[in-house]
Amino acid sequence: MATSMDAALLSKFSPFNTLDSSHLADLLGSIEILHATQGQVLFEKGDTEQRSVYVLSGTLSLRNGDQDLGTIAGGTEEARSPIARTLPRQLSAVAVDNVEYFSIDSELLDVTLTLDHTGMYEVGDISSELNGAEGDWMGALLRTKTFQLIPPQNIQMIFMRLKKVDYKAGHIVIRQDSKGDHFYMITRGRCMVTRETPGNSANIDLAELGVGNTFGEEALISKEARNATVTMLTDGTLMRLDRDDFQSLLNEPMIVSLEHEDADEAVTQGGKWLDVRVPSEFKACSKANAMNLPLYLLRHKLDLLDRKTPYVVYCDTGRRSSAAAFILNQKGFETAVLKGGLNHTGL
């Protein structure tokens, strides 16, 4: 049995065997190798989780209720392809004996295949040119939900338009209350996010950011002043994207906006209202059964949200809610924005 996944083993499976070696290597960190004992269910008929599942060793039984429709054994030609890939699952998969298998996020696999098969090998060259041997920051970005939600041609343009900036420890990258002009990605070093509050002489530390983290989007989307200061803790390198490129290439493709009636319907069908205004605004006027989580707390309170629930995010104008939706999409949540906000709907 395999204890870890390597490129040579992964390339034996379809469609991994069609990938360029660099893209294949990028996926290794996202592979989960799992074990199932006799009788254990890998997935049920009707499941909708977007994961591709492959058998490494052992035997699986494919079932429709109590009906056994056949088996798949590790090492066979049939095991080279994902099991019951159609969603919702048309069959259940049950371990006949001890089974070792692996799975991967289907969306991640698809975006990697799209980048590879459309000939975008230049991305690897750009990575080497911009960042040398400073780590696989580009691969990390491509594995995020953010980059799975935007068109491949946009990804290529984003990497072409990123600008490399080196900073020394102690340098203030963005200052609270200043105008937003860039979106930043950390490729080397660490940063501290702090906020000044009235009546408090000491800054409040909000978060420490490292390689692969991004910041600066809230002010670009909301068109309001920066809500925090970001300072380099160490010497480092940031890639930055200017405001117009961020809006057209990264933000707009990610945000789904719903008219009032469509938003109501989404909530009726199992979604939930998420109000990202401050508590006083929420108390004065809000949607029925809405949850209040102010934008300035959103990054630090994500554990209060249910990842299985689609959220319809709103504020007064749509600015803060668009910024919140961008953050949530980055973290893998399903969101939509109430177009125009409450002011537009006349609530």
Give tens-digit pLDDT for 7-58.
889 989 988 887 777 778 878 888 888 999 999 999 999 998 888 899 999 9
- Any bridge partners for residue 61, and if so which? 71, 94
**Residue 104 structural domain:** 7-108
Q: Kindly state whether residues 55 and 136 are assigned to the same domain.
A: no
Q: Kindly state whether residues 179 and 151 are assigned to the same domain.
A: yes
More confident residue, 231 or 278: 231
CATH number at residue 270: 3.40.250.10
More confident residue, 234 or 244: 234
Please report whether residue 1 resides in a domain: no
Q: Kindly state whether residues 263 and 201 are assigned to the same domain.
A: no
Q: Kindly state whether residues 122 and 244 are assigned to the same domain.
A: yes
Ramachandran class of 18: left when φ > 0, alpha when ψ lies in -120 to 50, beta otherwise:
alpha
Q: Kindly state whether residues 134 and 225 are assigned to the same domain.
A: yes
Please report whether residue 113 resides in a domain: no
Q: What is the total count of domains within the chain?
A: 3
Q: Kindly state whether residues 265 and 335 are assigned to the same domain.
A: yes
Domain boundary among the residues 203, 222, 251 is at 251
Please report whether residue 303 resides in a domain: yes
At 320, is the pLDDT very low, low, confident or very high (cuts 50, 70, 90)? confident
- Any bridge partners for residue 110, and if so which? none
Q: Kindly state whether residues 142 and 73 are assigned to the same domain.
A: no
Give the separation between CA 18 and CA 117, rounded to whole angstroms: 8
CATH number at residue 190: 2.60.120.10
State residue 26's pLDDT score.
Answer: 79
Digit-coded pLDDT (tens) for 240-275: 988 888 877 776 667 788 999 999 999 999 999 999
Digit-coded pLDDT (tens) for 140-184: 666 666 666 676 667 777 877 888 999 999 999 999 888 888 989
Strand ranges (E), the chain? 32-36, 41-43, 51-57, 59-64, 67-73, 92-95, 99-105, 163-167, 172-174, 182-188, 191-197, 200-209, 214-215, 229-232, 236-242, 257-258, 272-275, 291-292, 311-314, 335-338
Give the separation between CA 6 and CA 9, rounded to whole angstroms: 5
